[in-house]
Amino acid sequence: MVISPSKAAARIRAAAVDAFASAGYGGTTTRDIAARLDMSPAAMYPHYRSKEELLFAISFEGHTEALKVVEGADRPGEEPSVRLQELVSTFASWQAGHHSLARVVQYELTALTPEHYRTVVALRRSTTRVVREVVDAGVQSGDFTIPDAEGVTLALMSLCVDVCRWFPAGNYTNPEDIGKLYGDLALRMVGAA
Amino acid sequence: MVISPSKAAARIRAAAVDAFASAGYGGTTTRDIAARLDMSPAAMYPHYRSKEELLFAISFEGHTEALKVVEGADRPGEEPSVRLQELVSTFASWQAGHHSLARVVQYELTALTPEHYRTVVALRRSTTRVVREVVDAGVQSGDFTIPDAEGVTLALMSLCVDVCRWFPAGNYTNPEDIGKLYGDLALRMVGAA
């Protein structure tokens, strides 16, 4: 079987997510990752030249995917309440459904080089901006009553992101259930009319 | 200068929090921690015999402190709204004020031995129980209207815990500001009358 370079790279990223999730980024070597795939470190080198490059690839992919999911959930033609509920619900259930990837993406950011960190932070800001625009639209239309748009947006994003830390827990083992709950809580947080 | 054993142990724990915060638990050796204190690994051994024992001591201390802070903030004689606002506000600002410690305590849990993990999880449950009791009290008195007490409690705890990941950010650089915002948001989340 011939494996295409992009398929091989995807397998390496998946093995790295598993390795980072179980031993942490700092506790994993490129050799550990190669060993999970019965690969030599030399065979991995053409795809990723360092552990940090691999982390960046995972982080970039995860953040790009999260941004796409959030952008794809927005319905600019709808009322702010409908938009916010859909955004938060979709993002929260995505975080639940991808919790291993999301943990690596969220908690190992500080291991990136300054340049890679800036690239990833720009993606995060874009995701936050989608939510912030809906919050602002609701304030402007009078549908939302909030103490501070920055703080409320921060709290909404934080609530969604942290799902990857605790999910699953108790009766919340289904990503859709957490999406539904969080969509409702978001409307309460903005004081939706 | 003679340093008491408990003082030496506290210095070791503080150095370990710094080391874990910068290189992760997996990326830190007991030798790294000893080096931060100009200490030999052998001198550290009587206090903590392994890196995991040190992580457990930090985690136990952090979770015990968080529980004390939350229990101390509860005012059982007051109305549920007053109690919840105070609890959430106090816990959120504590997480902001102790974000380096809190990150180690929250994100490295899986590195603990099963026995140590169970001990720490019991402390977390006690903290959650304080919040849950107030949520239940508000539902019973008719002050709160919520879709599901378990889910709302989970969301309230999650919101507070995640402060340690992002704090400080933007205009939120003061633990008290985040406490005030989150106390208000908590009341909205429970639909306080």
Are A107 and B111 in contact (CB < 8 Å)?
no
Amino acid identity of residue B98, one-letter, is H
C-alpha span between A154 and A157 (Å, rounded):
5
Grouped pLDDT means (10 residues each) for chain B, 193 residues: 78 95 88 95 93 96 97 97 98 97 91 96 97 98 97 98 96 98 98 91
Q: Are residues B10 and B87 in the same domain?
A: no
Please say whether the beta carbons of A93 and A175 come within 8 A.
yes
- Give chain B positions within 8 Å (CB) of A149: none
Nearest CA in chain A to B106: A165
Measure the CA angle with vertex B107, ends B102 and B112; round to 5°. Answer: 105
- Cβ-count burial B97-124 (b if 16+ within 10 Å, e if not): bbbebbbbbbbbbebbeeebeeebeebb
What is the rounded average pLDDT of the residues A5-14? 92
> Is residue A31 domain-shared with residue A78, that is, in the same domain?
no
Range of the domain at B11: 1-48
Does one domain contain both B8 and B70?
no
* Single residue among B48, B69, B87 that ends a domain in this structure: B48
Which chain A residues touch B151 with a CB distance below 8 Å?
171-172, 177-178, 181
Q: Check whether residue B59 and residue B108 sit in a common domain.
A: yes
Q: Which two tokens stand for residue A82?
A: 């409908």
B149 contact A CB<8A: no
Give yes or no for residue A2 having a pLDDT over 80: no
For residue range A70-121, list pLDDT tens digits in order: 999 999 999 999 999 999 999 999 999 999 999 999 988 889 999 999 999 9
Instruction: Tell me: do B66 and B160 sit in the same domain.
Output: yes
pLDDT band, very low/low/confident/very high, at A38 (cuts 50, 70, 90): very high
Q: What pLDDT is attached to residue A159?
A: 98
- Check whether residue B64 and residue B93 sit in a common domain: yes
CATH of the domain at B172: 1.10.357.10
* Between A193 and B52, residue with greater pLDDT: B52
Q: Cα dihedral angle (A130, A132, A133, A138), rounded to 10 degrees?
A: 130
Interface size, chain A vs chain B, as Cβ–Cβ contacts under 8 Å:
100
Out of B22, B169, B188, the one facing A154 most closely (by C-beta) is: B169
Q: Do B94 and B108 have their domain in common?
A: yes
Q: Are A70 and A139 in contact (CB under 8 A)?
A: no
Chain B CB within 8 Å of residue A149 CB? no
On the question of a cis peptide bond just before residue A168, with omega within 30 degrees of 0, the verdict is yes
A146-183 pLDDT per residue, tens: 999 999 999 999 999 999 999 999 999 999 999 999 99
Contact A99, A167 (CB under 8 A): yes
Contacts with A, B 15-34, CB within 8 Å: 22-28
**CATH code of B38's domain:** 1.10.10.60
What chain B residue is nearest to A156 in terms of C-alpha separation? B159
pLDDT at A90: 98
CATH number of the domain encompassing residue A23: 1.10.10
Same domain, A95 and A179: yes
Q: Are residues A20 and A91 in the same domain?
A: no
Closest-CA distance, A116 to chain B, in angstroms, reads 17
Both B22 and B93 in a single domain?
no
- Of A12, A32, A49, which marks where a domain is finished? A49
Partners of residue B22 in chain A, C-beta under 8 Å = 110
CA-CA-CA-CA torsion for A58, A60, A178, A171, nearest 10 degrees? 20
> Mean pLDDT over residues A24-51, rounded?
93
By Cβ distance, the residue of B111, B161, B185 closest to A189 is B185
Whether B159 sits inside 8 A of A155 (CB atoms) is yes
Tens of pLDDT, residue by residue over B29-61, are 999 999 999 999 999 999 999 999 999 999 999
Residue A160 shares a structural domain with residue A172: yes
Domain count, chain A: 2
Residues A54 and A144 in one domain: yes
Instruction: Write out pLDDT tens, residues B107-120.
Output: 888 899 999 999 99
Q: What percent of chain A has pLDDT over 70?
A: 98
Q: Searching chain A, which residue's CA lies closest to the CA of residue B22? A: A110
DSSP code for A172: B
| Cβ–Cβ gap A155/B154 under 8 Å | no
Higher pLDDT pick, A67 / A193: A67
